Structure 1
């Protein structure tokens, strides 16, 4: 492919020719939500105006979905630098459209350069139609992100009004979805509430405290570090099935293991860990591991993580021998079930499961079993098969809103400052 931008003129052509398309202009939304179009179409053109719009979004405090989309686009765009149009265009197509609105300028550029427009934006499509500009709507996933909570800011009087009307679902919460309430003046956390299907319930204890934490003989004290971790613990303790999502270092494993072991020690549960050992994307595989099933698991990335939490492999073996713990790979799950005894299943690194594998795991669950599903399908998927058919996403679509299901997306990296900065790579 050559550089299509050389020799472009800024003066508008008199007539748009659908039969002689010179390239494809992409709007901001598509570049962020579906950057794969950069690989699908030849002769893609990205304007400097769109890039500046993305830079402005990056500077704003947004939820982690948008942050991830921006990082993903920037990584992919490095391969398409020849298709960035550095020209700063001025809008003069018509007087009744704003000169400051990037989409209006994109319409003009399509006319100037005889380009097709790639967009899913309804208004932009309509504007292109006015000038008979060819519009391509890329295929997009119909998956709707669900963080498991909504965040609002309230004055004291508004909060008092809320407490008087706990049976009203004014925020359109799903069953077991949380409401994080912050002070409208200083942003201080005031309360966390959960819609149980009939009314709002506060997560505060009798003394008005949030997030008191857990204590076990095995791991000592664990106290949640932010409101999302508070919600994740509450969901595990009160729902049969909980999905905990978050970036590396956000506390998924700490929450899952500390809460699960609290149930092991205090309520007599047995912990089953379901794993699907998957080599890290782009890493070099080391060949076959020696030993039996457990020895092989202990040499995998999952085993390394568990050893870091339990202290060493010997402690894991002791807990297995004592009947408190069992580790099962997905390859051996068919025919297994948790039975009628009190059990808690922790499905690790679930971003590396297809829908069928997730279905297989969940079909092993009895009525007296709790389930924790953890992972991060935004940034830690290690095989393309899991990205195109992701079990965590499908589970969320099917179970969200059910009385037995809760979901929480962790927002903050707590491991270290290095881990936080590394997330931007």
Structure 2
């Protein structure tokens, strides 16, 4: 490649923690790892936290590349495996950024971020006209690097599937007017209690499997069973039937909750993703459906509830009790929901404990889900907007036969320093699974918690 086409990507520590195999994601361009990054990985790998596993995985990946090389080769650059059909490949090297001191250092201070920025500024000058790019998920570091004079600073976007959260799939398509006014020939077929409508392709655009279809007239509500070049098969659900659903005494308050409850109660769907603002009913519907499916219908044996714990509490060891007791503070939303579902009972506290035992509700930390194989259970991942794509992959791959996964989250309430709505693991799986026959996604539009919550969501 010509020097003006070749790029050198300098990776920050958080990139390797976010994706331990990120070194293979830069095609034919070169990758450079500052020595400071290796020191940070070394300090993290022995922590008793989930992130330490990613640090060790990144170190093993680097060791695999450099294990049979000399110090001179490591400094000059070792070829990476080819990433395209033409055999083009970049190189990876380690840069001793500790040598950049005194007058060579553009950004004063001994902080790790400053050392990495100084290395990038030094290489920008040394390797011109080759483009040197610092890749970091730390927003403040990107600002500091640009302010110090680094021309090219980027976020890691290899696992980013949408550029704007407004374009994220909602799980349903709303048709203006009456659907049947837009349709010519319709073939209706009865399959047991269900009616399947077959219409010509082209009437509805950009369809994907299990997407719900609504029209303004409230005459038609359905779900896409299949779509092809010639025809589209729709499962006719009907507005009234959706709004008349019940799960553990809960009925939908709007049509979006009706769609969500339909997806939750369908045992043929292995994965249901619920997104939407705070107070839209995500957790309440998920728990009501879980209790109905486990206790009343007996389709599953237990309910496993999990969520990501804040970084300061990743080990959850400082709290007393068993794992379930340790997780209770982080899963208060679930216990609050159970109280709402049984608030009208004569003895709510007794009912709550009885239901938790009857449904075999287990509270687990995401950090301890690795290595498990979950069979015949409903797994509810609450606050999943705070999980990375790799963390969600870890949980999804734990699911065995007869397991239903429910991921709920509000992309406007991300607590992680390194995640944004477009890089959240929830966004990633919504896009990845949107055309998977065994999954459905519903954006719950509208706050039903209270008029105070609704006003706060819209105006704050």
TM-score > 0.5 by shorter chain: yes
TM-score between both structures, scaled by the size of structure 1: 0.57
Look up the match of 1:196. 225
Q: CA deviation at 1:142?
A: 4.5
Whole-Å separation in 2 of the counterparts to 1:293 and 1:142: 35
Separation in 2, partners of 1:304, 1:290:
20
Match of 1:77?
none
Distance 1:290 1:155, change over 3 A: closer
Shift of 1:287: 11
RMSD: 3.0
Q: In 1, Cα distance between the equivalents of 2:226 and 2:208? A: 7
Of 314, 331, 342 in structure 2, the residue corresponding to residue 302 of structure 1 is 331
Residue of structure 2 aligned with 1:275, choices 301, 307, 310? 307
Residue 277 (structure 1) shift: 2.5
User: Is the alpha carbon distance of 1:374 and 1:228 closer, same or farther for their aligned partners in structure 2, counting shifts above 3 Å?
Assistant: same
Counterpart of 2:213 (choices 161, 179, 187) is 179
Give the distance between the partners of 2:234 and 2:317, measured in 1 at CA: 53
Q: Distance in 1 between matches of 2:238 and 2:401?
A: 28
Aligned partner (choices 257, 260, 264) of residue 232 of structure 1: 260
Partner residue in 2 for 1:81? none
Q: Is the CA contact (8 Å cut-off) linking 1:274 and 1:330 kept in structure 2?
A: yes
C-alpha separation in 2, matches of 1:303 and 1:190:
39
- Aligned mates of 1:380, 1:162 — CA distance in 2: 45
Deviation of 1:292 after TM superposition, in Å, equals: 2.8
Aligned mates of 2:252, 2:181 — CA distance in 1: 27
Matches within 5 A, 1:30-41: none
Deviations 1:132-153 (A, max 9, x none): xxxx9x9896514100111112
Correspondence for 1:291? 321
Is the CA contact (8 Å cut-off) linking 1:343 and 1:368 kept in structure 2? yes
For 2:308 and 2:241, locate their aligned partners in 1 and report how far apart those are by CA, in whole Å.
38
- Measured in 1, the distance between the counterparts of 2:448 and 2:331 equals 20
* Aligned equivalent of 2:273: 243
Match of 1:346 in 2: 380
CA distance in 2, matches of 1:382, 1:162: 50
Q: Deviations over 1:84-133 (max 9, x none)?
A: xxxxxxxxxxxxxxxxxxxxxxxxxxxxxxxxxxxxxxxxxxxxxxxxxx
The secondary structure found in structure 2 opposite 1:176 is coil
Aligned to 1:380: 413
Are the equivalent residues in 2 in contact too, given 1:271–1:343 (CA < 8 A)? yes
Measure, in 2, the Cα distance between the counterparts of 1:405 and 1:327. Answer: 24
Q: Deviations over 1:197-243 (max 9, x none)?
A: 150111139xx633212143xxxx21111111111111122211110
How far the C-alpha of 1:332 sits from its partner, in A, is 1.1
Pair 1:325 & 2:325 matched: no
Distance 2:416 2:179 in 1: 49
Instruction: Check whether the contact 2:178–2:219 (CA below 8 A) recurs between aligned residues.
Output: no
Contact preservation (8 Å) 1:153, 1:182: yes
Aligned to 2:250: 222
Distance 1:304 1:178 in 2: 28
Question: Which whole-Å deviations, capped at 9, do the CAs of 1:390-416 have from their partners, x for residues lacking one?
Answer: 111111122110100110101100111
Query: Of 289, 295, 300, which residue of structure 2 is paired with 1:259?
Result: 289
Match of 1:126 in 2: none
Return the alpha-carbon distance in structure 2 between the equivalents of residues 181 and 357 of structure 1.
Answer: 37
Matching residue within 440, 444, 450 for 1:410: 444
Report the secondary structure of 1:158's partner residue.
helix
Query: 1:289 Cα shift?
Result: 3.0
Report how many aligned residue pairs link the two structures. Answer: 270
What corresponds to 2:169 in structure 1?
A: 146
Unaligned runs of 5+ in 2: 1-151, 188-196, 228-232, 343-347
Structure 2 distance, partners of 1:145, 1:380, is: 16
1:3-18 → structure 2 map (5 Å cutoff): none
Distance in 1 between residues matched to 2:337 and 2:178, nearest whole Å: 44
* Partner residue in 1 for 2:181: 158
Q: Hey, what's the Cα distance between the residues in 1 that align with 2:398 and 2:358?
A: 22
Q: Secondary structure at the match of 1:381?
A: coil
Match of 1:222, SS?
Answer: coil
Whether the 8 Å CA contact 1:278–1:352 is kept in 2: the answer is: no
- Structure-1 separation of matches of 2:326 and 2:244: 38
Q: Provide the secondary structure at the position in 1 that maps to 2:370.
A: coil
Question: C-alpha distance in 2, partners of 1:320/1:230?
Answer: 25
1: CA distance between counterparts of 2:353 and 2:253? 30
**Rounded Cα–Cα distance in structure 1 between residues aligned with 2:263 and 2:451:** 28
Aligned CA distance change for structure 1 residues 356 and 241 (closer, same or farther; 3 Å): same
